[in-house]
Amino acid sequence: MNKLNFSSICSRVFLERRISTLSGGFEFLIAALTPVLLLLAIDPNSFISGWNEGRSGLLFASFFIILEWYDARKQLQMRKEKHVFIVWLLCGSLLVLYYFGIFFLNLNNTIGQIGVQLGLPEMPKMYSWVTMWEHLVFLTYILVLFVSAYGWKNLLKMMAPAAYLSGMGLMFLLDAAFPYASLGPMQAIVLVIVPMVVSLLGFSGIRTIWQPESSTLHIFLVREGVETFKGSVSFYWPCVGVQSMIIFFMIILVMIAKLDASRRRKTFYALIGAIGTFLLNLFRIYLICYLIATEDVSKARAFHESAGEILFMAWAVLYLLAVVKVEDIIYSKRTTLAHTNGETKANNKLPTSG
């Protein structure tokens, strides 16, 4: 059966203990993940910062690299010629120089100044502009490693991390060029999501005042008839998870495209994936507002900056596992039915006489 074995990917990645079971090409996985592991050791706090301030995206990209590699490792034959490792050495050296510039030469400030010269409005930190380049640099590094080892024709087997990193890069660029509510089509989604969140909060005894003209939601906690103002939050398209909905839906589409399923079932899976991703994002924003009302703004901010992306990751993995399980059941039933029909036809054949 030529289909995506997503369930076996996850179970084996997390449960297998013997590295000897891994087949050829393990060198690629080590080379791809080493920069992220080193960054974790050198600057662990950067992985828990906000979505456009930290490096959490590199962790998610690493997760997708592991899944894609594990799924395709038996179908790929890694080139182990001398020139491949020379390319890897050169690529790794350039990556080291890039991070040397970031940590010791204030390269991010230089990149930010370039953004200023280009007329980007986000100042003074230029978070999204700077983070975009780090994601694109890592994307380039991974693509060079993979293509030099496996060739361009196999690039589709590493599409999930490529789609994630390039998609995030595009979102960072849009956020840098059109910050806050300046990107009308994206900001319009806020006008759909926030009123739905307001309705959910109402069922939880939380009163809100939504001001769409300023994209601000004022939150009040009502307990025993006493109303207490808890805080205000401004909603702009990056804050309501538009980029996460788009990126993780792209990942779902990439994975579903690999299934050996009919076009109708793939369309159905994609539709359910889109609806589920939207509802999860709605629930995430509700939780943020609920924490503001019942706890404090600092806890809500911590959840927003760390748990949000993890929720999308968990949803994407669990949903794809469910899809693959459904496809396995369909395949098993069809195989059993075909086998039964074959035996029936064989039994119905009249014996020939000599």
Which pLDDT belongs to residue 139?
Answer: 96
| Residue recorded with tokens 């109402």 | 202
Query: What residue segments make up the domains of the chain, in order of their start?
Result: 1-181, 190-236+239-332
* Cα within 13 Å of Cα(221), Cβ side: 12
Tracing tokens 């891994």 back to the chain, one arrives at 22
**Interior/surface letters 183-214, b for 16+ CB within 10 angstroms, e for the rest:** beebbebbeebbeebbebbeeeebbbeeeeee
**pTM, 2 dp:** 0.74
Strand partners, 260: none
Q: 220-229 in b/e burial notation, b at 16+ Cβ within 10 A?
A: bbeeeeeeee
DSSP state letters, 43-95: -GGGGSS-TTTSSHHHHHHHHHHHHHHHHHTTT------HHHHHHHHHHHHHH
Residue with tokens 């997390």: 14
- Judged by DSSP in three states, 1 sits in coil
Consecutive H or E run containing 219 = strand 216-223
> How far is Cα 317 from Cα 323, in angstroms, rounded to an integer?
10
- Bridge partners of 231? 219
pLDDT value for 9: 47
For residue 239, what pLDDT is reported? 72
Distance CA 126, CA 122 (A): 5
Q: Which two tokens stand for residue 186?
A: 């994206």
Q: Which residues are paired to 209 by β-bridges?
A: 218
d(CA 32, CA 91): 11
Q: What does the pLDDT read at residue 13?
A: 42
DSSP 8-state class, residue 319: H
Q: Classify residue 324 as exposed, middle or buried by CB count within 10 Å of its CB (0-12, 13-18, 19+).
A: buried
**DSSP state for residue 223 in the 8-state scheme:** E
CA distance 107 to 129: 13
Reading the block at residue 9, the tokens are 């990917």
Picking from 56, 34, 36, the residue whose alpha carbon sits closest to that of residue 45 is: 56
Please say whether the beta carbons of 297 and 218 come within 8 A.
Answer: no
Q: How far is CA 202 from CA 129, 209, 233, 305, in A?
A: 38, 11, 16, 25
**Amino acid occupying residue 109:** N
CA dihedral 80, 2, 164, 73 (to 10 degrees): -20
Which residue's structure tokens are 């960054």?
39
Give the pLDDT score at 261: 81
**Cα(201)–Cα(195) distance, rounded to whole angstroms?**
10
Residues 6+ apart with CB under 8 A from 328: 7
- Relative to beta strand 216-223, strand 206-211 is antiparallel
Let me know: does 66 contact 12? Beta carbons within 8 Å.
no
Going residue by residue through the chain, which has 354 residues, state the pLDDT in tens, using 9 for 90 and above: 444 554 454 444 444 433 333 345 788 999 999 999 999 999 998 887 666 778 888 988 998 899 888 888 778 888 878 888 899 999 999 999 999 999 999 999 999 989 888 888 766 567 889 999 999 999 999 999 999 999 888 888 888 899 889 988 988 888 888 776 555 667 778 888 889 999 999 888 899 999 888 788 999 988 877 888 888 888 877 777 777 788 878 888 887 877 878 888 888 988 898 898 889 889 989 998 999 888 877 777 777 766 767 788 788 888 888 888 888 888 888 888 776 766 666 566 555 544
Task: Please list, in sequence order, all residues whose beta carbon lies within 8 angstroms of the beta carbon of residue 169, skipping any fewer than 6 positions away.
Answer: 132, 135, 136, 139
